[in-house]
Structures are given as structure tokens and as C-alpha cells.
Amino acid sequence: MKYLDCVLQQMLKETRTFVQTLSELYMYLYYFINLSLLPSGFTMLRAFSHTNGRCVFHHAKCWHHRKSVLAIRREDVNAWERRAPLAPKHVKELTKMGYKVLVQPSNRRAIHEREYVKAGAIIQEDISEASLIIGVKRPPEDKLIPKKNYAFFSHTIKAQEANMPLLDEILRQEIRLFDYEKMVDHKGMRVVAFGKWAGVAGMINILHGLGLRFLALGHHTPFMHIGMAHNYRNSSQAVQAVRDAGYEISLGLMPKSVGPLTFVFTGTGNVSKGAQEMFSALPCEFVEPHELKEVSRSGDLRKVYGTVLSRHHHLVRKRDGLYDPADYDKHPENYISRFHIDVAPYTTCLINGIYWEQNTPRLLSRQDTQKLLVPVKSAAAATDGCPELPHKLLAICDISADTGGSIEFMTECTTIDNPFCMYDADQHITHDSVEGSGILMCSIDNLPAQLPIEATEYFGDMLFPYIEEMLLSEGSEPLEKQNYSPVVRDAVIASNGMLTPKYQYIQKLRESREQAQSLKMGDEKRVLLLGSGYVSGPVVEYLTRDSNIDITVVSVMKEQLEQLTTMYRNITPVHMDVLKNEEELSSLVKKHNLVISLLPYSAHPFVAKKCIDNKVNLVTASYLTPAMKELQESVEAAGITVVSEMGLDPGLDHMLAMECIDKAKEVGATVISYTSFCGGLPAPEHSDNPLRYKFSWSPQGVLLNTVQPATYLKDGEIINIPPGGALLDSVTPMDFFPGLNLEGFPNRDSTKYAEPYGIQTARTLLRGTLRYKGYSRTMGGFVKLGLINPDPYPLLRSTTPPLTWKELMCKLVGIKSPAEHHVLKEAVFSKLEKDKNQLEAVEWLGLLGDEPVPAADSIVGALAKHMEMKLPFGTGERDMIVMRSEIGLRHPSGHLEDKFIDLVVYGDNKGYSAMAKTVGYPAAIAAKMVLDGEITSKGMVIPLTKNVYGPILERVRAEGILYSTHSIIKQ
């Protein structure tokens, strides 16, 4: 008997490499069993693989008999997770073998508990007696039980950041972790996976998505009758729905204008095969990849076409254009993909089932896709009711769900709840919709959960043969004493509080990633710049001096975007109207560390709300308006910084004032008056028009400022100026630079700065705007005519027939159109109260002529667009900035001092305008300070404290923005 013991022990060891001696092993086992020669204390355990309904004997194992308990845990990480790792039929086999099987109760599980009970399982919450606990997805860290065996998809083998806390807890609790993903055969092929059902569900989903996308493009198709995969009780129901759609296609019910449909499947594994299996329910014909071009143009509309893409179809070596599989395996970096050239242009829908490895060519990049989405030329037969498709490639179903992988721009998975998004390659943004420009994307990472019963049975069939050996060991026992098969042994990620030798690289990956993230957090920063107007140049120029700052510029002005992209590196242009694309804006904001808004001030609250939602800091050059102040609590709750008034006026005027005021307070002086006037003007030699003004800043903002109310303090008395144009009657000559012939008028509410400036002692407090003499008089004429009217004016919308200025002026002065020129002129002159200078300005601008009025939402919006065209700075012309601040001080000794601060900046003939420099550089410097952690205050910030204005004033001087000060002492 001792001899038989030794033989049996040796035979059992050899079963670990039993492939070549299986028949011999059967013979010996039969001999021992039938002659009752098994030693006492041993029992025979069975392992089965269910293949096509048959039970196949895999291999037998003999262990010392002991009672073992298996637990199937409840899936509780995702609401859609209704699968289980084993089906009732597998539980039945285990209970027949004498195992106790516990199943945690779950109303979410697709297979009813009673089916498990019939199979012999016990339904109970407490699973602590189990030696092996299995699930599909990861358990929550707080549900782990120490020193147990666990098996599930851990998603830790790439040191995935989201699951590292779980791995840490597994190590701390000395749990043995078997990861299904690493259960592979001697060829490295996975032996336990849901792959087929990911392919089946993904194919169903994308057919449903195509129905929606076609409808958005103006086409009803048979795909509209296919639902999402989870809407079907099982795959057979789904197949029937697909067949029904296919029947309609075979009858020729697909719209002719969409052309033949082509589907490309990548990969040859179970994922791709599952997708192809569902696709085959359509009237389909599989062709070779090189045949796609022909069938996509002249194929039969009563069928759809498919092709399976392998490496040799699209990969070529860079130096000679050939494909060598052995060489590719060794040096994939020497190859490129021609998919975007040879296959994608003829593909309607891509079903991607391949994963991407570092240094291997991607299937599609953003640049590739931009070229693929160029609109096709419309055929003569196309009509509004029967439109052609905008481009051939309509949809991508990335079943691999490999973010940033073979589909470079698939950076975030979709979900069963929100299965589709549109990727716009031109703007490099995604938005949750099936409408708009771009490619329909579907990239759900838990597709088999949509067909949970079949997926459970399929997966359980593959897992069942390995359950016994995982079950018959205690997690607390040393791993080296376990006699696991290679498939199971190599799937042990952690045991006894340590990573197993094969997976110790995970810790190194974590360390390198954490180091890279640390460097990235410290170095690489992403800025979203909204607006590409006059000021954007200095902002971009300043920030791109730091090579670790990447800037995305969003603008409706395509030419300016292209100029910025040409002039500066690290720029990603996005051509988009921010205010009309709310979802796209939100998607962009969340991908950046900081937003700089150079949009009109009225847009800032809209932008700020997106920053609050996504916890992203914001910098603007505009006033902190009441609408912005209302967001104060939300900004603080989000823990972000919103910097406002970081330009010229407001901005540098605050900083120069506070520098002077703070220095005065340091010597005990009291501020008794503060006046500050600032203006952006053409240089004197270029002020040659009736308005004596040219635009280097927002035209509409300039115009609207003339009808704003104003409040200021004069010798202790509060002066209020009502809105509507009365401001232009409060003009004062400004003679501090006599040669410039300036005038000034109050700007907004000056009194509100008494508290933030800390100058409540001042009896005069006035902030105003500078212009050349005559500006206010001319603008007053526009106010009289109703041209500075921000109210909606439907007749000027782009959807209505265009008006000429002559027709609009007739309406404004109340005469019937068309009118003779002299009649209109006389009516306008009368409306202007016989002011010849004002009439001259109206005529000079062409407002009595036949030129069309630009489309706009309001009259003032149209006038702003018109003035931007009529009053730009010409080539070689320059602007200038003039600022004069006067601060009256009373010193402790009783003597008085008037402190003067002068800032005069000229634009560069071949460079930036003065306005661009004095607004752009302060905003850029402030943005850099936020990025670098120099400005850390949370909430609303304006530049009134020394830690903010000090560094900015020092740095603007380095940019050539110089100011001077002088004083007059009075006894």
C-alpha cells in the first residue's frame, strides 16, 4: 500500500502536466478505483466542462477530504450588474460533489434565487464561513473578509488608479486574489471571459444607435425597430428583431440616399465573433477589405456588407510598406496603420474589438478622423427631404472600451444609461447626443451585463473546471504550498499580504505612474481660453512661454483661430459658439485646469456656472458684476478660484490705486479723494473720423457703456446718472495732457469701491472713461436715433430677409420705406435736433445708404458689427492707452498731498495693440499665478491685495507696460 501511495502521489503531481498522458492516467485511475486501492482519507473529485450540452471529464484531483464552502457574493458596484460568476447548473454540480454553496441574496441578480435554491445552494447574507468567495466585479473594500480566497475581475493588473485602494486593502487583509482576466492557457489565450457576449450586446446597441443617428440626419431606417440589448429577454429575441430589420432591408426599404452600408470588424477573437454572429442576422455579405471601396459605392442596397480586418490588412512597415508578422511582434513601433486611408473612407460603422499596446500603431487618431469627416459633395439628386450623408464613417462601437487605446480619441467610456455620444474631430469634443456634427460613439465597458443570464451561463461553463482547486485551499495558507494548475496559479495576483512574484511589477507601475502624475501635476497644465479676439494674442504668447502649458482656444472666428495656431505651439483650436453649445462647453471645461474667458461680460456667469459644476478655476478681465456676485457661495462651495477685473480698466487701475493707497496707509496718511480716468484710443495721428475712435476692444461693450447708469461721489455728495444716454451729458474736459484734447465721463458705480479700496474717508470718489473731444457728442446722436438699443429686434435675425441701413433708419425715425435720400436725411437731422456734427457721423458711417445691416439679435449688436468693419485699425496704425489716477492724501502732520499716477502705452505697428497688451498680459499673469499656486484664495478674487497686485505690477513692467508717479505737496 505504501508503494501505491507513492505511485498515486507521483501521478497526482503529473496531472498538472497531464496533456500528453491523459489516456494513461484514465487507465490508472480506473484500476485504482475498481480495485478499491485508493488509500484511506482520499476521495475522488470531479471537474467538468460543459461543451455543447455534454459533460467532458477534464482531470481528476485527489485531496484530503474536508468540508469546503463556496460563496457567490452579491454584485453591488454597478446598478446594471445583474450577472453572476456561476449559474444554477454549476451550483448543482458542486453540491452533488459535497460542497456547500452560499449565495448572497440579491433582487438585482437576473437569475432568481429560487433557481439557486433548487440547485442546492443556501441563500444567506453571512458568507464568512466560505473559503472561496467569487463574484463578477470587484467588491467594496469595506465588504472584504480577511484571509479568504476571492475571485473576480479586479482590474488591477495595469495598476489602474481607481482600483489601487482595493488592492491595498486586499494586501492589508492578507486575501488571496484570483483574477479571471489572468486565467490563460499555455498560448496566453484567456480561458475565462465574457467576450462573446460583449460582442453580441455591442452589435445590438450600435444597430440601435445607427437607427437614431440616421433619424437625426433625416432618414427613417429599419434599424429604428432595434432596441438596446438589455431591452430583450435574451439574445434570441434580439436576433429576431435584427432579422425583422434585415427583412425590411432585403425589401429595399433603406433610403437610397444613404448608399450601401458597410461594417468593419477588427479582431478575430470571441468579441469580434460575437458581434459578427449578431450581424449575420441581417441580409449580409462578407467581403475582403480591399473590396469595400467598390461595394460602398455600387453595392446592393438590399443587403449590408461586412469585412473582418486583420493586422496584415492595414499594418505596413514604415521603410518598405510591407507587413512581416514576426518582425511586427518584435518591433511594432516600426509600423504604421493605413486603416484611415485604405479602409475607413469606405466604412459606415466600425466595430472595434482590439486592445492597444504601447508602441503599437493606433487604428484611428484625431487627425485621421478630421480628414474622414470632410463633408461629401452633394449629389444633384439630393434634396432637403432626401439628404445625403455628411460623410461615410457614421459610427464606432468600441467594444474593447480601451480608453485612449486603438481609437485615440475614445478617452471616456459611455454607459448603459447614456450609451451614445458624438465625437466632433474638428472641435475635439464629445457631447451626449446623437445629433450634430461628428461620429456616433458607443463604448460601454460592461456590455455583457445587458444579457445577464446567457452571459452568466457562458462564463460559468468556462470557470467551473477551475473552481475546485481554488476552493480546496485556505487563503491563510502559504501560496507556495498550494498545488495549483498553471492556469490558476498564474492568476493569483496577491496572497498572504504580498503581490505574487509575477505581479510585483504592479507596485513599480504604481510608483512610476505616481511619479509621472506628480511631475504632470507640477508641470503639465491645460488652459481653456474662450475667445480669440484682440486680447487673446498676448494671453497665448505669455502662457506658451511655459512649454508645459497646453491651451485650447475656443472661438467663432475661424481665421483668428488659424492665426493663433500658426503663431504659437501647444494650441488646440476649437471652432464653436460657446453660448450655443452648452454641453460641448461643459465637456471642454472639465478637461482643463483653468478657464480664461475673454468673452463679453454678459457671458461670464454662464461660463462660471460650468466652472463651478466641474470644479475648475476661472480668470476674466471683466467687472465682477452682480450676476457674478450671486455665484459667490457656489464658487466657495466648489472650492475654486474665480479671478475677475484682471485687465486694464478694471484691473491695472485697481492695482496702481491699491499700491499707492497701501503705501500711504503705511505712513499713517488718510485718503480724502480718489479719481481715475482711463481710455483706449487711436493714436492722435489715426483719430481721423467723426467718432475720433477705432475699435481694438469689444465694439458692443463700448457702445453699451454709453447708455449705462453711473454713480459717483463729489465733495461728499452722491451723484446719480440714470441709464439711457444721460451719461453723455456729464462730460468734463480733461487737460492733464493738453496736447491730447481729451474729455471724460463717469463709468458705472464708483462709490462701490470705497469699501474694497479701504478709502471710506474719501469725499470724492470717481472712476471714468477717457475719449477724444467730440466722441460723446457723436455717440449722443446714435442714442437719439435708437441705435444703442440692446433689446431683441427680430427683423435683424439671420432667418429673416435682410434689411438695408436705409430701411432700418426709416423705421427708427418713423417714415415709410422706401424713402428718398433727402427725405430720410431731413427726418434723421430733425431727430438729431439739427446737430450737424451728429448727422455727419451718421452719413460717414453709411447709415443712410443701401448697405445691408449685419444679422444680429439687436440693433446695437448690428451697429457694433458695422462699426467693427468701418472703424478698424488699418495696417501700420496703432492705438494707445491713457490712464490718469489722482489720489488726495492727508498726512498725520496735517499737510496734504496729491499723488498722480500716469500710464501711457502705445500699440506696436507690427505687434500687439496697446489694449491687447494692457488687458491680455495682466489676465495671463494672473492665470499663471493661479496655475502655479501663487493665488490660492478660494471664492471671488479681484486684485486688491498686495500678494496679488504686487507680483502682477512687477511682471507687467517686464512686458513694457510702464507707469510713472509724481506728487504735489500742499501745506
- Ramachandran angles phi, psi of 84, nearest 5°: -140, 160
Coil, helix or strand at residue 152? strand
Q: Which three cell numbers stand for residue 447?
A: 456590455
| Cα–Cα distance for residue pair 301/246, rounded to 1 Å | 11
Pairing verdict, β 492-495 and 549-555: unpaired
| Cα–Cα distance for residue pair 745/724, rounded to 1 Å | 14
Q: Taking the CA atoms of 909, 913, 918 and 924 in sequence, report the sign of the dihedral they define.
A: negative
Pairing verdict, β 421-424 and 439-442: antiparallel
| Cα–Cα distance for residue pair 450/232, rounded to 1 Å | 9
Collect contacts of 240-246 with beta carbons under 8 A, ≥24 apart: 242/204, 242/207, 242/278, 242/281, 242/282, 243/281, 243/282, 245/207, 245/282, 246/222, 246/281, 246/282, 246/283, 246/284
Cβ proximity of 671 and 754 under 8 Å: no
* Catalytic-residue membership of 735: no
| Cα–Cα distance for residue pair 238/244, rounded to 1 Å | 10
Torsion, Cα 420 424 425 428, to 10 degrees, reads -100
| Cα–Cα distance for residue pair 114/111, rounded to 1 Å | 8
Is 570 buried (19+), middle (13-18) or exposed (0-12) by CB count in 10 A?
middle
Pairing verdict, β 594-597 and 549-555: unpaired
Of 878, 929, 914, residue with least CA distance to 542 = 929
Which ranges of 580-672 does DSSP label H, i.e. alpha helix?
582-589, 604-614, 626-629, 632-638, 652-666
| Cα–Cα distance for residue pair 213/611, rounded to 1 Å | 30
Whole-Å CA distances, 401 to 94, 301, 413, 779, 837: 34, 31, 6, 60, 69
Whole-Å CA distances, 53 to 95, 195, 461: 19, 20, 10
Among 368, 424, 649, 653, the active-site one is 649
Could you count the other beta carbons within 10 Å of the beta carbon of residue 228? Answer: 17
Coil, helix or strand at residue 484? coil
Q: Which three cell numbers stand for residue 934?
A: 501663487
Of 917, 918, 926, 969, residue with least CA distance to 948 = 926
Q: Which three cell numbers stand for residue 394?
A: 457614421
Q: Give the number of residues written for the chain.
A: 971
- Ramachandran angles phi, psi of 231, nearest 5°: -80, -10
Of 408, 613, 476, residue with least CA distance to 132 = 476
| Cα–Cα distance for residue pair 415/448, rounded to 1 Å | 12
- Ramachandran angles phi, psi of 407, nearest 5°: -100, 95
- Rg of the chain over Cα atoms, rounded to whole angstroms, equals 37
Cβ neighbors of 443 (< 8 A, separation 6 or more) are 396, 397, 398, 399, 401, 403, 407, 410, 412, 413, 414
Is 877 buried (19+), middle (13-18) or exposed (0-12) by CB count in 10 A?
middle
Of 290, 359, 940, residue with least CA distance to 627 = 940
Cβ proximity of 439 and 350 under 8 Å: no
Residues belonging to the active site: 649
